[in-house]
Structure formats: C-alpha cells, structure tokens
C-alpha cells in the first residue's frame, strides 16, 4: 500500500510539472537572460601575475640550510611589505595612477609558494596593460627597498669572476686528489727506497698546493655566499596576463542564474498546487479522502447525452 501511495505521489508531481513545464522553462530562460545582461554590464577585471625569489640558493655552488631558512622568513616579510603603504604609494607615484593606495591594496595579492623562497604577486586591474605595469612596478619597488639595489655593476662583475674561479679551482682540487690517490697506490708497490722517497716528496708538494687551493676555495665561497645573499631579490617570471578577464565569468553567471530561475519556478508551481484544494483527478480523491474509487464516467462528444 505504501509503495502504491509513493507511486501515486510521484506521478502527481510529474503531472504538476508537465502541466506547467512552459512556465518553468520560461522562468529559467528569463533568469539566465538577466544574468547574462548583468554580467555584460559589469566592469572587466584582468589579472597579471609575476614571481620573485628571495635569496640566491639557485645560484650558490653550496647550499646552507640556515640561509635557506632565513630567505623563507624574509619572503614572508616581503609578502607583507608588498601590501603596505610606502610600497604601494611608490607604485602609484611611479605609474601616475589616479586612486589611493588603499584601493590598490585591495587589488594586490601576494602568496608565498609553500616550501620555497618564491613569492607570487597577483594584481587586478581594468586592463591587461595596467595590471602588467602595476605588477612589474611592484616587484621593482620591492627590489629597491632590499639590499639588492645597493649592488653596483662592479660588485656583480666581481661575483661572476669569483664564480668562474670557483669552477676552475674545483676542477684542480679534484684532479689533485685523484693524483694523490695514484701516488699512494704507487708508494705501496715501489721497489726501492729511492723511488718511495721521490713519490713521498711529490705527495708532500701536492698536498701543500691542495691545502692552499682549498683555503682559496673557502674564501671565494664566503665572498659569494655571505649573509647578504639571503636577503637578495630577483625576478623569476616577468608579469603576464591572460587575454580574457578573470571577472565577470559570463558563462558561469548565466548558467547559475538560469539554474536559480529553474529552481524558483519549480518551487512556485508546487506551492500553487499545494494551496489549490480543488479535486481534479481520481488520484486526488484516493490521496486526500483515502477512498477507493469504484469507477469513472467518461465524457462523450460535446458532453450532451441523448437517449
């Protein structure tokens, strides 16, 4: 009996929808149209993204975990500074923007890429060109307030020279170490004391040179990997923006508006049916009065019965 009642109720809901399906469809189309028109009238928002790295870990020949941890903490600091008044006002002055720094702050987002020293900077604006310009200028302002801007071209040339010397010293040290291993093996099989003495003398000279090279190598490492390297900022990815705006999402807004209209129309037609207490079908008698109909009288022709 319960299954029969459930079937009757489901069939009742289906009949309600079929009687007013046009109203549901019309409401959904109107709502979707309204959503489309509203979305078209909204201002376009474009987003530019750029990335910077804090520290010089990718350039270092030997990594120091302390420098990496310091750079990660500094990256968090720069992420906060990037949305502060001094930096944003400098961007506004440099680009001659016509809004306050508070307004610009609402358009800027700075995220630290997890487990890295990378900062990802996103800027929203009314055009692609403006968004890209603001993002690039913001990274430049961060570089200007960091020790990176204090490095002169001479310092950079010296750093490049030292890196080249480090590579050369590393090759010499490796070759000398291999030569020492060869001499040590030759010492074990030398047949005479004179030959062993010559080999030992060559080993002593080579060990002295090797110590000097290793000390020079360590001083060069200290020069290019000092404390200031952890507080170094460089642009990894210049600002870029997609051709299409990120807001408004016209297709999504239209779809959501149509779906909302469809649901509201369904609610309205079911509410109207609930408020309507007139008897229209045999199923209504069975459901409302809990009576079993004995039969039905059909309508013939135009409804006039002639004997």
Q: What digits encode the pLDDT tens for the residues 150-195?
A: 454 555 666 677 778 778 888 888 888 888 888 888 877 777 888 8
Burial of 68 (0-12, 13-18, 19+ CB in 10 A): middle
SS3 237: strand
DSSP lists the bridge partners of residue 121 as: 50, 110
Contacts of 287-294 spanning 24+ positions with Cβ under 8 A: 287/5, 287/8, 287/9, 287/12
CB 56 within 8 A of CB 232: yes
Sheet holding 108-112, edge to edge: 108-112, 118-125, 46-54, 233-241
Question: What beta strand segments (E) does the chain contain?
Answer: 46-54, 108-112, 118-125, 233-241
Write the pLDDT tens digit of every residue in 279-301.
666 666 666 666 666 666 666 55
Instruction: Tell me what pLDDT residue 12 has.
Output: 74
Q: Per-residue pLDDT for 130 more than 90?
A: yes
For residue 303, is it left (φ>0), alpha (ψ between -120 and 50) or beta?
Answer: left
SS3 content of the chain, % helix, strand, coil (to 5): 65, 10, 25
SS3 219: helix
Please indicate, yes or no, whether the overall pTM of this predicted structure exceeds 0.85: no
């Amino acid at each position: 009996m319960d299954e029969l009642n459930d079937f009757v109720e489901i069939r009742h809901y289906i009949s309600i929808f079929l009687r007013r399906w046009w109203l549901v469809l019309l409401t959904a189309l109107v709502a979707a149209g309204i959503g489309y028109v509203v979305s078209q009238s909204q201002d376009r928002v474009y987003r530019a993204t750029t990335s910077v790295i804090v520290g010089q870990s990718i350039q270092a020949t030997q990594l120091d975990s302390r420098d990496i941890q310091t750079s990660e903490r500094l990256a968090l600091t720069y992420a906060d500074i990037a949305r502060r008044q001094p930096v944003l006002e400098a961007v506004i002055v440099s680009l001659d923007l016509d809004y306050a720094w508070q307004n610009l702050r609402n358009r800027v987002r700075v995220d630290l890429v997890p487990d890295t020293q990378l900062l990802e900077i996103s800027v929203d604006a009314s055009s692609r060109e403006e968004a890209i310009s603001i993002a690039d200028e913001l990274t430049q302002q961060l570089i200007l307030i960091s020790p990176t801007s204090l490095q002169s071209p001479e310092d950079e040339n010296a750093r490049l020279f030292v890196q080249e010397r480090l590579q050369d010293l590393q090759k010499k040290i490796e070759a000398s170490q291999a030569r020492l291993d060869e001499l040590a093996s030759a010492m074990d099989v030398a047949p005479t004391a004179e030959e062993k003495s010559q080999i030992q003398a060559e080993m002593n000279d080579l060990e002295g040179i090797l110590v000097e090279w290793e000390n020079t190598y360590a001083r060069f490492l200290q020069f290019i990997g000092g404390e200031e390297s952890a507080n170094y900022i460089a642009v990894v990815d210049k600002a870029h923006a997609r051709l299409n705006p990120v807001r408004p999402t016209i297709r999504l807004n239209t779809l959501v508006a149509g779906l909302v209209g469809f649901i509201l129309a369904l609610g309205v037609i079911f509410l109207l049916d609930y408020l309507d207490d007139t008897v229209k079908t045999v199923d209504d008698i069975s459901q409302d009065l809990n009576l079993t109909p004995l039969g039905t009288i059909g309508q013939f022709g135009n409804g006039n019965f002639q004997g």
